[in-house]
Homo-oligomer: A and B are copies of this chain.
């Protein structure tokens, strides 16, 4: 789906623009992330990297990913990772999420419930359900 070499070159360009030196560690971390389509967590990335780069530390992985994210080079998939959030309503609905204050608001909309499911989703997987996440900055959060 994506050309690795192309992505790496793009990555290097982005770093230049954002004034991030392209260090061996950073390249390694980016490559590890790119090569693993499952979106590994910092721990998994570190484990993967440690072989070709035995002295790299955990905090480097964290700080690096954070720097990439902050500058828009990569994105954090689960911006609600920091704490558990529960939903008392179990019937199909969707969510508006404020990326600043992390509040989650329900969206009930019949139309969204009937989107066309891509082939790849059901291919080998048992589909349990889906949800649309709308990332917003809410009225309270834009000062």
Contacts and interface: CB of A to CB of B under 8 A. Distances in A.
Contacts of A135: 127-131
Interface residues of A, number: 71
Interface string A55-78: 000000000010011001111111
Contacts of A68: 86
13 contacts: A30-B88, A37-B105, A39-B87, A41-B83, A41-B84, A73-B90, A77-B104, A78-B84, A115-B132, A125-B139, A127-B136, A130-B133, A131-B133
Given A112-B115, A135-B129, A65 B86 contact: yes
A126 B115 contact: no
